[in-house]
Each structure stands twice: as structure tokens, then as C-alpha cells.
Structure 1
Amino acid sequence: MIEFVKGRVDHIKGDTITIENNGIGYLIYCSNPFVFNGQQPDEETVVYTYQYVKEDVNRLYGFRSRKERELFEQLLQVSGIGPKGAQAILASGDPGQVVGAIENEDEAFLTKFPGVGKKTAKQMIIDLKGKLTGVYDAVTVAGAPVSLLDEQQPGGDLEEALEALTALGYGEKEIKKVRPHLEKEQLSADEYVRKALQWMLT
């Protein structure tokens, strides 16, 4: 397993980040890749990774910390949750809220995530209740200061954020509901994603 990739942020788009290391670009899937958008052009960053291999799929998933990756791995142990579903849950930016919902058996909150129905929510509670309290408190998923890597057109950050939400599994109806609120703000792509998720999960 690749423990981490250290290198220069080359490109960010949708649900992926490309890290260049010694002339090789590593394509890494992230719940919110825009949190890595604060580095200077020649500054190196560390992305902790999880390699997911299944049949014809071989992908690297990236995280800001080992603890965030550990939470991702715990979520993958739940029947009905794959990497995409686990990423959507992590993208909320508040692992403590997720853990609290599991500990309090709050199925209504858990089913707000794309791909999580009542059956999966119940399975999350059965499988994970009491097992995550030592994980979430050290998870860091806060955004970094924004320094755009590519020249953006007006509204580009918002469009990038909406693309990321689509990649996480949120439907057109949900995105249309929050878009008018987002259009009133002047935020970075990372902040747009987190703000949208806050509205979706309330």
C-alpha cells in the first residue's frame, strides 16, 4: 500500500487532485480536493493515501491526515458503503457530527448522504457505534488558504464546487436547491463545497 504521496500540486478538478513527484503525476481521488488548493507553485504537500483495488478498479484515495484515512477505512467496512459513499460522508467536513449521529442512532441525519438509505444507515450504526470515538477527534479536514492554480473565469470556483458535489453523488435537484444560496457568496471552491454540504445536511 502507498502510505502517502509527497509532491507539488499540479492540477485540481472535480473529485481529483494530481500530485507531481519526480516527473510522475499521481491521480488521487479526494472527498474535497480543493482543500489542497493553498500551496505555492513549488511548495510540496503530503497526501495520505488509500489504494482501492477491485476487479478492474485501481484507484488512490487521498486524505489530509492519517486519522481521516482511518475513518474512511472504517466506513468501507460497512456493507453498502463503497469509496464514493465514504467520500461523500467525509466531504461534510465535520466527522464529529457523523460520529455523533452514529452514536445517537440518528438515521434521519445519516440518510441525507447520497447513497445512504435506511438500511445502510442502520448498518452503519450496528457496525460502527462505539468504534469511532477515538478516531474523529483527531481528524483534520479544514480547508487551506486559497491560491488558485489555474486562471479562473468569473464564477469558476462555484462551477468547480458544483462539479465536485456531482462527483460525490449529489443529484441535480439537490444542487439546484443550494445553488441560489451559493451564488450570493464570494468563496473559494473549497468553501463553496463545505457551505453547500452544510445546507444539504441541515
Structure 2
Amino acid sequence: MIDFLRGQVAYVETEYIVLDVQGVGYRVFCPNPYVFPAKGQDAITVYIHHHVREDAQLLFGFPTREEQRLFRKLIEVSGIGPRVALGILSGGNPDGVIAAIHNENIAFLTKLPGIGKKTAQRMILDLKDKLEGLGGATLFNPISADVSELDDVNVTPGWPEAREALKALGYTDAELDRVWAKLKDQLKPDEEVDSLMKKALKLLYAG
């Protein structure tokens, strides 16, 4: 089974990257493809989950081993397949997801793509004691805010959550303010967090 690939990015699409590894192009589905460097830059390492089913073999890729491990924990939960797990990681930064599980924050978890109340409860039950060693400082800071605090009535509701996830990836407030100024007039009122993330990352990636 493939655990990681090292090569150059050949293409970046909205759902995946194509990684050129010694002349072979691997299609790798990612939570946020635009976090990876542009085509033709130095070789990178992508941590892989190699998913095998009867009709296909799929590669899911992550910039860190921690995200890879969290993805693998998520797909152990009944009702969460690889596509839903990918949506979880695109809709909320890993530390935030881990903290929400540890603090039994169902309100936060049900804001993630594809997660209803019952699935959120299963995530907490199945994973709360299995995430030791994953996550950073956020893990030790309970998420006490109500979901309504994530929604600013003056902006698209999902943007505050998307912004926090982008900050966790290392982007500055100034960069995110510039991106929001470009994005805000192009969005639907009910734009999903994962869609916001992808559109913002595309702008950040383009400079």
C-alpha cells in the first residue's frame, strides 16, 4: 500500500492534484488542493491513504502526517467514508475537528460537510479516546463558542469558520482580508465552508 509519494505537482484541480513521480502522474484527491505549490516547483512529499475497493483504487493525499492519521481515524467511524472524511478536513482545520471531538461539541461537528447529529455523536463516541498525539494547541482549548458566534450577519455565514481554518494553515489576517474583499461579492449567501476554502485558496495561490 502507498503511504507517501514524492514528486512535482503537474496539475492542481478543484478536488485533486496530479503528482508527477518519475514520469508517472498520480491523481491524488485532497481536502484543499491549493495548499500545494504550483506546477513545476520543487518536489514535495504528499502523505497518502491508498483506498482500495472492488471497482477502483483511489489515492487521498495530505500535506502532513497528522492530517493523514486523522483521516484514517475518521474513516473508522461507521457512516464516514473517504469522501465524507475528506469533506470534514476541507470544512474544518484538523486541530478544530480534534478539539470539537474531545470537547463533545456537536454543534461544531454538525457544521462540517456531510455530518448530521447522529454521525457527530458516533464520532465523539468512537474517537474521543483515540486521538492522543494528534493536534496542536487547539486541542487543549475547549471550543465553547455557540455555532451562532461563527456566523457574522454581515458576511457569508461560513466565512468566519473558513477564515479560522485558513489562519491555521498559516495565512495572515492581512492576506485573508484581501481575499475576502475579492470574494464577498461573488458568493452565494449559503456558500458552504469547503467551497469558501477552495475559492479563497485559489486566490491565495494565485497571489
Judged with a 3 Å threshold, the aligned counterparts in structure 2 of structure 1 residues 27 and 76 are, in CA distance, closer, same or farther, namely same
Cα shift at 1:57: 2.5
SS at match of 2:87: helix
**Alignment length (residue pairs):** 161
| Shift in CA distance, 66/42, structure 1 to aligned 2, threshold 3 Å | same
Whether the aligned pair in 1 keeps the contact of 2:17 and 2:30 (CA below 8 Å) is yes
Contact 2:110/2:120 (<8 A) preserved: yes
Q: Which amino acid aligns with 1:131?
A: K
1:28, distance to aligned residue in structure 2 (A): 0.3
Name the SS for the 1:91 alignment partner.
helix
Pairwise CA distance, 1:92: 3.6
Distance (Å, rounded) in 2 between the aligned partners of 1:6 and 1:80: 31
Unaligned runs of 5+ in 2: 138-167, 172-181
Root mean square deviation of aligned Cα: 3.2
2:26 is aligned to 26
1:121 to 1:135, Cα distance in 2 relative to 1, 3 A: same
- Look up the SS of the partner of 1:17 in the other structure: strand
TM-score (norm 1): 0.69
Counterpart residue type for residue 61 of structure 2: G
2:190 pairs, out of 139, 149, 174, with 174
> How many Å apart are 1:34 and its aligned residue?
0.4
Identical-residue share of aligned pairs (%)? 43
TM-score after normalising by structure 2: 0.67
1:133 aligned partner: 132
2:202 aligns with 189
In structure 2, C-alpha distance between the alignment counterparts of 1:177 and 1:98, rounded to whole Å = 14
Higher RCO by CA contacts (8 Å cutoff, separation 6 or greater): 1
Deviations 1:28-72 (A, max 9, x none): 000001000x35624111111110112213100001111110000
Q: 1:176 to 1:54 in 2, by over 3 A?
A: closer
3-state SS of paired residue (2:7): strand
What pairs with 1:1-202 in structure 2 (closer than 5 Å)?
1-36=1-36, 38-39=37-38, 41-92=40-91, 94-137=93-136, 142=169, 174-175=190-191, 188-189=201-202, 191=204
Could you tell me which residue of structure 1 aligns to residue 159 of structure 2? Answer: none
Instruction: For residue 2 of structure 2, give the secondary structure of its aligned residue in structure 1.
Output: coil
Query: Secondary structure of the equivalent of 1:81?
Result: coil
Mapped to 2, the partners of 1:98 and 1:142 lie a distance apart of 14
Structure 1, unpaired ranges of 5+: 145-156, 163-171, 193-202
SS in 1 for 2:136: helix
Deviations 1:84-122 (A, max 9, x none): 111111124522211121112111111111211111011
d(CA) in 2 for partners of 1:97 and 1:71?
12
